[in-house]
Structure 1
Amino acid sequence: MHTSIQLTDIYTSEAGAVYQCDRRNRILVDFANELAILKVDAFLRLKKAVDSINLEQMAGSTDRASDFEIVSVCGCDKIYVLTLPQLYAFKELLAEAKFTLDLNSMLHECLFTQMA
């Protein structure tokens, strides 16, 4: 028996896309030709880890070790090795996806509160 999994497009940019699978309660992050399938809490940890990177300090550094950042979180089987431009794009992708998820959650809550 073959069952298809319906994915909801949360946010798409030139850099990648974020999808939601309601059936399995997962977030799929497609970035830098890598697909990460995450539980919601792992997605939030990934966003927090990327948000904690000081991009301005990284951009202003003359140290060669500041040319890239390694991002890894518990619950994510991917290790991202990202350059500064990739980090900017990844940070934007995750932020917009989180905003859309929050907005959808609020709309869903409002609709079902009014229907009850």
Structure 2
Amino acid sequence: MIAAIAKPGEKRSAATELVEIYANEAGAVYQCDRKNRLMLYFAGTFNVLKVDTFLRLKQAVASIDLEQMAANPSRSSDFEIVSVCGCERCFMLSLTELYALRDLLAGAKFSLELNRMLHECLTPLEA
């Protein structure tokens, strides 16, 4: 768990706590319950994403054909530009970076889905 630093004049207890959802060697995804956001740490930068933006980014990265990209000898196929609505950042990624980001996003989505299913199973039904 990471505790974000409080801003000047802000009480320490108001600092946002981030829970790591999933991490690999390329980065990590954190969850902020206070702001209902996910934070993607990738390529040395933090990107704050709403859940629907995170899902759109995961879908956009998953839809890229990495095998075709690797097999294409053209220099224009060395990089892919990924941009989704709701995300301030435009990602320009190499094949290696795409593979790492795909793994990071898929692992985070799996962890979120597993947590949701466990919460449903363990929460008693309301009458």
CA drift at 1:35: 1.0
CA distance in 2, matches of 1:113, 1:47: 31
CA distance in 1, matches of 2:90, 2:81: 7
- Stretches of structure 1 that go unaligned for 5 or more consecutive residues are none
Q: State the one-letter code of the partner of 2:37.
A: R
Which one has more relative contact order, counting CA pairs under 8 Å at least 6 apart?
A: 1
Number of the residue aligned with 2:111:
100
CA distance in 2, matches of 1:92, 1:109: 26
Deviations 1:30-70 (A, max 9, x none): 00112110000000000000001000000000111000000
Identity of matched residues, %? 59
Question: Which of 33, 36, 40 lines up with 2:51 in the alignment?
Answer: 40
1:18 aligns with 2:15: no
CA distance in 2, matches of 1:113, 1:43: 29
CA distance in 2, matches of 1:95, 1:22: 20
Deviations 1:56-94 (A, max 9, x none): 000000111000000000000011100000000000000
Query: Larger Rg: 1 or 2?
Result: 2
TM-score (norm 1): 0.96
SS at match of 1:97: helix
- Stretches of structure 2 that go unaligned for 5 or more consecutive residues are 1-9
Q: How does 1:1-116 map to 2 (within 5 A)?
A: 1-2=10-11, 3-113=14-124
Compute the RMSD of aligned alpha carbons: 1.3
Larger relative helix fraction: 1
CA distance in 2, matches of 1:97, 1:48: 13
CA distance in 2, matches of 1:37, 1:81: 18
Alignment: residue pair count:
116
